[in-house]
Structure 1
Amino acid sequence: MPRRYLPELLLLAALWGASFLFMRVAAPEFGPVPLIAMRVGIAALVLLPVLYWRKQLGLIRRHIKPLAFVGLTNSALPFSLFAFATLSLTAGLTAVLNSTAPFWTALVAFFFYGDKLSTQRVLGILVGFAGVLVLVWPKLSASGALLAIGACLLASMSYGVSANYSKHKLEGVPPLVSTVGSQVTAALMLLPLAILYWPSHGISLHAWLAAAALGIACTGLAYLLFFRLIAQVGPANAVMVTFLIPVFGNLWGALFLGESVTLSLLLGGLVILAGVAISLGLLRPKALPA
């Protein structure tokens, strides 16, 4: 990747890493579902003018059914699960568990779409889940933490389902159309639940600002930056953001919430990222064939 694009990559990782910080701040006051309804709704309002300017709004209506499924599996469900998890887990740990999405993507492709798993990818998946075990082991006695960890893994699995579905059902649809359409449909899905579960107590300005930052910066603007990076440096380089999100998730949690980086979190995170690198072919053990 050309060095001039590194600041944009770091900015994108910082924004997506900050999403776990803002969810941890706002979810206790809003509740997971109302918060995520606001997140996707605000993101849709940010992105719709861009799609209108590109004269591509009509494509949403043309592909509304697959976009609705992607809205459910790539936004409404996983975002809500991560917001629920932040009620019990630190922002840093949640960000690390989010990085298991490439493993689930490969497994869903293998079991449901008949894709082959290379020896290297299998090894990467095994290494990655060994890292998850390192993370989970100290929390085996805490039922609330285990439930939250399960929610994170289910959310990452949902990303894997969405990625495979998009590849097969939305081929040829511009990525920005897929993103805007999924945010709009996710907002419509969550609206009734957000009204039903809207908190009866007052909400602090601190939480409102966190929710606004989550929708505007960490979702709407972050997606625009992601698509710009894909256009400039290609998907293979843009996916490097996967390795940086946990770093910023832990950094923001430590700086603004006083979260500690435990030995199990550090070791587990490093093992998971090593598994991602092996699975993506960025790190090849010498014993494996080229």
Structure 2
Amino acid sequence: MSTANLLRLFLLAAIWGGSFLFMRIAAPVLGPAVLIEYRVVFASLFLLAVALLMKKPLDLRQNWKHYLVLGFFNSALPFLLYAYAARTLSASVMAVLNATAPIWGAVIGAVWHRQMVSARVMLGLVMGTGGVALLVGFDHASSREGAGLAIAAALFAAFNYGIASTYAKSAKAVEPFANAHGSMWAATLLVLPSLAFFPQPGQPTVGIMGAALALGVLCSGVAYLLYYRLIRDVGPTSALTVTFLSPLFGILLGTLFLNEVVGWYTILGSAIVIVGTALVTGFKPGFGWLRKSASA
């Protein structure tokens, strides 16, 4: 991995870790539905501008059903669930719960293909479950009213990412940028009905709207560009390492900007979840990218 791609990887991890910070700031004021409608609209408009600049077509007539499925499971529903959870849970806890997405993907894939999981994957599943239990069991946010439902919502959001990844593997091949662009417009339509169920509870300030804008343009639009660039340059396996890095940034940003408490259970629970995810995904750390970077 070149130095440039290594920097892109860390930047992407910081951006996706920061998404939980922005949701924690804006969700209590805007509500989950209004916040996520802003997020997907801002992301769609940003990606539309990039598409026009790069002359990348969507082929809506051929791919609209595909965009709807991807937009629902990979954006609309998980975004709404995390925004709902953000009214109660800390950014740190949500960032770690999000790291379970590859674990859910492995479980869903095994059920979908009717295959038994290996002993390594089973160990990873047990570790991931144990890490989550440790984290939410000791975190003070778990004692707040509605925390149980918020935790369930965050885990279900990660579960939907697992569905999306399983679907994407079996779906027809669509250009990665078109997937990002088309699914954002689909999510914009899919989130609209939820506005009737989650009215805006407060009056937004400039800072709140800035957080919503950052969620859309930075954490969705720019993040997708970085992610698909990494997949193109270094492959999906190396790009997957962002899963292990983003919780670290989520915890760091939550501590720095929201004064969230990081206890021993946060560090230990996060480490267990990350190791469990590595076992499930078959990730094997190595230093080959260092040698490639030196010659790049």
- TM-score, normalization by structure 1: 0.91
Would the alpha carbon gap of residues 280 and 94 (structure 1) be closer, same or farther in structure 2, given more than 3 Å must change?
A: same
**C-alpha displacement at 1:258, in angstroms?**
0.6
Q: Does 1:227 find its partner at 2:222?
A: no
**C-alpha displacement at 1:108, in angstroms?**
0.7
Name stretches of at least 5 consecutive residues in structure 2 with no aligned partner. 286-296
For residues 137 and 198 of structure 2, what CA distance do their matches in structure 1 show?
34
For residues 226 and 43 of structure 1, what CA distance do their matches in structure 2 show?
15
Q: Which residue of 2 aligns with 1:288?
A: none
Deviation sequence 1:126-173 (CA, Å, 0-9, x none): 11111111113236655522211111110000111111112112x311
For residues 107 and 183 of structure 2, what CA distance do their matches in structure 1 show?
23
Q: Does 1:33 find its partner at 2:36?
A: no
Q: Which residue of 2 aligns with 1:212?
A: 213
SS at match of 1:63: helix
**C-alpha displacement at 1:234, in angstroms?**
1.3
For residues 202 and 156 of structure 2, what CA distance do their matches in structure 1 show?
30
Which consecutive aligned stretches of 4+ in structure 1 deviate over 6 angstroms post-superposition?
A: none
Q: Which amino acid aligns with 2:18?
A: A
SS at match of 2:10: helix
Would the alpha carbon gap of residues 283 and 227 (structure 1) be closer, same or farther in structure 2, given more than 3 Å must change?
A: closer
Retained in 1: the 8 A contact 2:92–2:250? yes
Kindly report the root-mean-square deviation, in angstroms, between the aligned alpha carbons of the 2 structures.
Answer: 1.9
Q: Which amino acid aligns with 2:168?
A: S
Q: Which residue of 2 aligns with 1:85?
A: 85
Where do 1:49-128 residues align within 5 Å?
49-128=49-128
- TM-score, normalization by structure 2: 0.90
Where do 1:196-207 residues align within 5 Å?
197-199=198-200, 201-207=202-208
Count residues with an aligned counterpart.
283
Deviating more after overlay: 58-67 vs 102-111? 58-67
Q: Which of 158, 162, 165 is the matching residue for 1:163?
A: 165
Deviating more after overlay: 101-110 vs 199-208? 199-208
For residues 94 and 27 of structure 2, what CA distance do their matches in structure 1 show?
14
Deviating more after overlay: 119-128 vs 93-102? 119-128
Retained in 2: the 8 A contact 1:60–1:177? no
Q: Percent identity?
A: 42
**C-alpha displacement at 1:177, in angstroms?**
1.2
**C-alpha displacement at 1:18, in angstroms?**
0.6
For residues 4 and 42 of structure 2, what CA distance do their matches in structure 1 show?
30
Deviation sequence 1:234-253 (CA, Å, 0-9, x none): 11111111111001101111
Q: Does 1:257 find its partner at 2:258?
A: yes
For residues 81 and 264 of structure 1, what CA distance do their matches in structure 2 show?
24
For residues 205 and 230 of structure 1, what CA distance do their matches in structure 2 show?
35
